[in-house]
């Protein structure tokens, strides 16, 4: 069966199916909105407006919370079922037809400072998130977040200075975080001969092999 869901005004960049509710999914678009759908009846159930375009979304393990990374360099966690506001209030949405409920934000914080897309993934059933993005100097980085406090990451690690984006993927059974993307290697070898030192730097090359981080 093919289902067509209509509602976004610009291109759709992300689709995430709900982890426990059948036929329910969330979509994020360049029209600065996230929509929740019931695919069984081809209906838009809820729509949320954000200050800027959304790069990445991810459900937590039971689908009660949604993590969001946006072009405004913010990381957010909110309850898509909520109808009241708490802690942080987003700018009011522009008037339009359909449901545009207020958003209950559990946490909000500054994420990656680079202008390129950032991505977020929930670390299984733990109260932690992982995100990938860029620094102001265009270096790629990984951040681990405690969902109880998004004011700053629990850990931030620089990766390299490649220009390609990195997608975080988490295996909850093995507790392993995979970082998928092109990786640039620059290997330097040094050979010491008494008073003569020779350094050889091979040319850079790229590989699509993922990096692996073990999340304890």
pLDDT tens per residue across span 47-80: 888 888 899 999 999 998 999 999 999 999 988 7
Confidence of residue 100 (pLDDT cuts 50, 70, 90): very low
| Contact criterion met (CB below 8 Å) for 105 and 77 | yes
Bridge partners, 14 (sequence order):
28
Contacts 24+ apart (CB under 8 A), 123-129: 123/170, 123/172, 123/177, 123/215, 124/61, 124/170, 124/172, 124/175, 125/61, 125/172, 126/215, 128/154, 128/215, 129/58, 129/67, 129/75, 129/77
Q: What is the pLDDT of residue 184?
A: 60
The closest of 142, 141, 152 to 110, measured between CA atoms, is 152
Our CA angle for 146, 147, 153, nearest 5°, is 40
Q: Are 117 and 55 in contact (CB under 8 A)?
A: yes
> Following DSSP, what letter does each residue of 165-200 receive, concatenated?
--EEEEETTTTEEEEES-EEE---EEEEETTEEEEE
Model pTM?
Answer: 0.72
* Per-residue confidence (pLDDT) for residue 47, from 0 to 100: 85
Q: ∠103-104-107 over CA atoms, to 5°?
A: 115
Q: Is the dihedral of CA 177, 180, 186, 187 positive or negative?
A: positive
Question: Is the Cβ–Cβ distance between 142 and 159 less than 8 Å?
Answer: yes
Those residues whose C-beta lies under 8 Å from the C-beta of residue 46, and which sit 6 or more positions away, are 35, 36, 80, 99, 101
pLDDT at site 183:
65
Collapsing DSSP to helix, strand or coil, 122 comes out as strand
User: Which pLDDT value is given to residue 104?
Assistant: 56
pLDDT at residue 148, rounded to an integer: 86
Instruction: Tell me how far apart the alpha carbons of residues 66 and 62 are, in angstroms, rounded to a whole number.
Output: 10
Q: Interior CA angle at 104 toward 100 and 108, to 5°?
A: 115
Within 13 Å and on the Cβ side, how many CA atoms surround 192? 1
pLDDT interval class at 157 (50, 70, 90): very high
CB-based burial label for 89 (10 Å; 0-12, 13-18, 19+): exposed
Instruction: Tell me the range of 6-15, 71-80, 126-135, 197-206 where mean pLDDT is highest.
Output: 126-135
């Amino acid at each position: 069966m093919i289902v067509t869901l209509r509602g976004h005004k610009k291109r759709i960049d992300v689709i995430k199916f709900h982890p426990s509710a059948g036929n329910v999914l969330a979509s994020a678009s360049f029209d600065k909105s996230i929509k929740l759908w019931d695919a069984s009846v081809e209906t838009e159930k809820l729509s949320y407006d954000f200050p800027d375009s959304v790069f990445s979304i991810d459900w937590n393990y039971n689908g009660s919370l949604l993590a969001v990374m946006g072009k405004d360099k913010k990381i957010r966690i909110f309850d898509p079922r909520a109808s009241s506001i708490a802690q942080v209030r987003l700018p009011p949405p522009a008037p339009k037809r359909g449901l545009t409920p207020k958003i209950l934000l559990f946490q909000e914080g500054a994420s990656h400072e680079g202008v390129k897309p950032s991505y977020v993934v929930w670390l299984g059933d733990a109260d932690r998130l992982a995100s990938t993005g860029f620094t102001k100097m265009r270096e790629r980085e990984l951040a681990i977040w405690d969902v109880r406090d998004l004011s700053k990451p629990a850990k931030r690690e620089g990766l390299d200075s490649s220009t390609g984006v990195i997608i975080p993927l988490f295996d909850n059974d093995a507790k392993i975080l995979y970082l998928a993307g092109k990786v640039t290697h620059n290997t330097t070898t040094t050979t010491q001969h008494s008073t003569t030192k020779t350094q050889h730097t091979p040319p850079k090359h790229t590989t699509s092999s993922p990096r692996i981080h073990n999340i304890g």
